[in-house]
Structure 1
Amino acid sequence: MILDLFAGPGGWSRALHVLGVRDIGLEWDEWACKTRAAAGQLTIRTDVAMYPTWPFIGRTRGMIASPPCQAWSMAGKRLGLLDQPLVHAAVEDLAAGRDSRERLLAACRDERSLLAAEPMRYLHALNTVGEPDWVAMEEVPHVLPLWKQYAAVLRRWGFSVWYGILNAADFGVPQTRKRAILLASRVRTAQPPTPTHSQIAEPDSLFGRGRARWVSMAEALGWGATDRPVPTVCAGGGPGGGPEPFPSGSRKTLSDARERGTWMPRPDGVCLQSRREGAGWAARHGTRENRAADAPAPTFTAEAHRWSWSLRSNNQANATVRPLSEPAGTLFFGHRANECTWIAEPASPPAMDVDAPAVPEPIRITAREAGILQTFPADYPWAGNKGQQFSQIGNAVPPLLAGHLLAPHLGVTLDSDDFTLAA
């Protein structure tokens, strides 16, 4: 079997499913478990820290873990940062078969801190029978020193180990999400997967295949021109009646994009209206406050083409803002899910004698859109209310990245086309 600790809503499990394998996930969160159940994933709802290891001994081929890492979190009050020495102490003791968790937990500022040491408890138990064959672990970049400690223990046990920082965008994920990764194997040399994408496309050469350009949000979501910003479309009536509504330059841009196969119109959409439309927009499509978490975003067409759309990660001054023609920044949600919004700016400066158009209201990202940017399929069955769905999405490993990490250990070839996103 493949054991998945802190399995969440199924990022690793989704990757394994695409690769033709199943895992057993241990997860505590009620809504993540409901999402997993709806997705058909095997799950034991339990506290990973309390569950015994003996049921897995003699049965485990691979082990996956994405443990909570409050001791390395930069969010909130950061009390967990003071617990880092205690986490390292717990890993050292568990690797030697000593269970000091109760004593160390009493000294922790954050009761969740020691969860980052739990994978070592399972690894020590499995190692007594020469298992598992391989290990894959993932967390935020600040956790790399902890992975270094895990790596030293695993090497003593005969594993080949690699650990480092990978950018999900380099593997086709439409998000510049950096993660600390640990890969270990008893049967092959552990090494990172070969990147398939880069910020600037690289052609094939005598030294090997090239790399495609990073996948943009527009391409992943199926909105407009996927390889460049959409052309500006003006309101008007042509000769004698204002600017031509779809001038020849824009027509050629659209035609060229279609010929390249890089224009994907949003199906079944609606035209985004500006604030000038008032109550009409709210009556037809709902206000920002009552828009359903799984409702499709308004189509960026017609009137909306006057705007250049970007995704803003939150409402702080240092928020990451990325245009649709680029990958998203790392998606953080939790209690601030409603601050992640699509925002508009004029695609071109208004004429001197024309009033500046009213800027459309920011539009909150939907769970469907956020899931796609994490490379979950558009119809993935997220359970819970908006906050619960966004929390699951933000904490999940992108399935496409997970697929690149897992495929070599499973002895299968990854086909990125199998990770269907937009429906």
Structure 2
Amino acid sequence: MIRHGFAGIGWTEALAARGQRDIGLELGWAACRTRAAAGHATIQCDVTQYPTWPFRGAVGCIDSSPCPGFGKSGKKLGLRDLPLVHEAIDDLAHGRDTRAVIGAACLDERSILTAEPMRWYYDLRPEWICMEQVPSVLPVWRQYADILEGWGYSVDAAVLDAADYGLGQRRPRAVLAASRVQDVTLPAPTHGGLGQPPLTVMADVVGWGYTQRPAPTVTGGGTATGGAEPFGNGTRQAMKRAMGTEAWRDRSLPHLRPTIAECASLQGFRPDLVFHGRAGEQHLIVGNAVPPPLADIVLAAAGAFTEQQLAAA
């Protein structure tokens, strides 16, 4: 059994591609419907209120807590809440549930969610653990690593960029992989280095191409120029870099309006996966997901797959 908190669908699709199944705890209706329609076991709930005991004996745990408070956009209140998050994690690691008190003191009510996984790890002690968040949360993952190492886990935590592993976008993420049954080392980049395949071009992934449907390059001044961009920063965010410019508003350039399918392809989702909900909800499901190819790398490092599963895919 694999317990998956804040489930979304990215990690789950990576597991399923290698014959593994999880049970996802997810609050969002559209995300739950997307998971269920794809055949993934799902419990619609507030993960912070769900008891841990039904998952005793879980082999693995996966968590990608919400990141808006720690991201580059917005008020970044989560960054100011980091001392409180560290305190809550330490308390949970010692069996003290202070989430309510510390959460009430946070400037962003979502900040405390980054401490939530420790409640599960303390109670369940699974064989392996995988985590993901925005790069600014890496110090928190290192705190998790120190605690898990004290419990006998082998742990590696770092910022990995999906582009360095073949995805057609710049998407750096703070990830953690841990195992108490094998040594863990996150893999080195496979693309863009000396003797390696080149970085994947975003325009090629979404079918624009350099000559047939050239995407504009957005300069620092916010104007669009000709030519294709090798890769973007984010999924929907990458393709929105031209928004607000004259080129974006020009309806003679329909390729500048990204479809759900184009965004999903940038994330590495299989082309037949159907996303549910309103258009905005679908974009959030895609954009908030861990890219399945990146998830696969972290899961493999944590030991989530058997040798046969790794060889078969």
Question: TM over 0.5: same fold?
Answer: yes
Matched, 1:28 2:13: no
Distance 1:318 1:178, change over 3 A: farther
- Partners of 1:338 and 1:323 lie apart in 2 by 16
**Superposition deviation, residue 167 in structure 1:** 0.9
Matched, 1:391 2:284: yes
For the Cα contact (< 8 Å) 1:135–1:185, is it kept in 2? yes
1:360 match: 252
Distance 1:321 1:51, change over 3 A: farther
1:161 match: 155
Aligned length: 307
**Superposition deviation, residue 332 in structure 1:** 5.1
Matched, 1:328 2:313: no
1:378 match: 271
2:53 match: 54
**Superposition deviation, residue 219 in structure 1:** 3.0
1:80 match: 78
Larger mean CA deviation between 394-403 and 358-367 belongs to 358-367
**Superposition deviation, residue 77 in structure 1:** 2.3
3-state SS of paired residue (2:108)? coil
Matched, 1:220 2:205: yes
- Partners of 2:171 and 2:11 lie apart in 1 by 16
Larger proportion of helix:
2
3-state SS of paired residue (1:120)? helix
**Superposition deviation, residue 149 in structure 1:** 0.6
Distance 1:112 1:323, change over 3 A: farther
**Superposition deviation, residue 78 in structure 1:** 2.5
**Superposition deviation, residue 195 in structure 1:** 2.5
Give the residue type in structure 2 aligned to 1:309.
A
Alignment deviations for residues 194-234 of structure 1 (CA, whole Å, 9 cap, x no partner)? 42211x5x43xxxxxxx21111123323444xxxx32xxxx
For the Cα contact (< 8 Å) 2:160–2:175, is it kept in 1? yes
Alignment deviations for residues 245-301 of structure 1 (CA, whole Å, 9 cap, x no partner)? xxxxxxxxxxxxxxxxxxxxxxxxxxxxxxxxxxxxxxxxxxxxxxxxxxxxxxx4x
- Partners of 1:33 and 1:342 lie apart in 2 by 33
- Partners of 2:223 and 2:145 lie apart in 1 by 34
Matched, 1:117 2:115: yes
**Superposition deviation, residue 359 in structure 1:** 9.0
For the Cα contact (< 8 Å) 1:162–1:192, is it kept in 2? yes
Larger mean CA deviation between 322-331 and 98-107 belongs to 322-331
Give the residue type in structure 1 aligned to 2:84.
L
**Superposition deviation, residue 317 in structure 1:** 5.3
- Partners of 2:100 and 2:112 lie apart in 1 by 10
Give the residue type in structure 1 aligned to 2:252.
P
Distance 1:415 1:402, change over 3 A: farther
For the Cα contact (< 8 Å) 2:103–2:112, is it kept in 1? yes
**Superposition deviation, residue 108 in structure 1:** 1.5
3-state SS of paired residue (1:121)? helix
Distance 1:104 1:367, change over 3 A: same
Matched, 1:148 2:142: yes
1:189 match: 183
- Partners of 2:179 and 2:4 lie apart in 1 by 16
Matched, 1:13 2:12: yes
Q: For 1:70-109, what aligned pairs fall within 5 Å after superposition?
A: 70-109=68-107
Give the residue type in structure 2 aligned to 1:135.
I
Distance 1:406 1:100, change over 3 A: same
Matched, 1:405 2:295: no
Distance 1:223 1:80, change over 3 A: closer
3-state SS of paired residue (1:212)? coil
Quick check: which has more Rg, 1 or 2?
Answer: 1
- Partners of 2:177 and 2:226 lie apart in 1 by 31
Give the residue type in structure 1 aligned to 2:198.
R
1:351 match: none
The CA RMSD measured in Å over matched residues stands at 3.0
Distance 1:56 1:393, change over 3 A: same
For the Cα contact (< 8 Å) 1:27–1:43, is it kept in 2? yes
- Partners of 2:268 and 2:262 lie apart in 1 by 10
Distance 1:102 1:173, change over 3 A: same
Identity within the alignment, %: 44
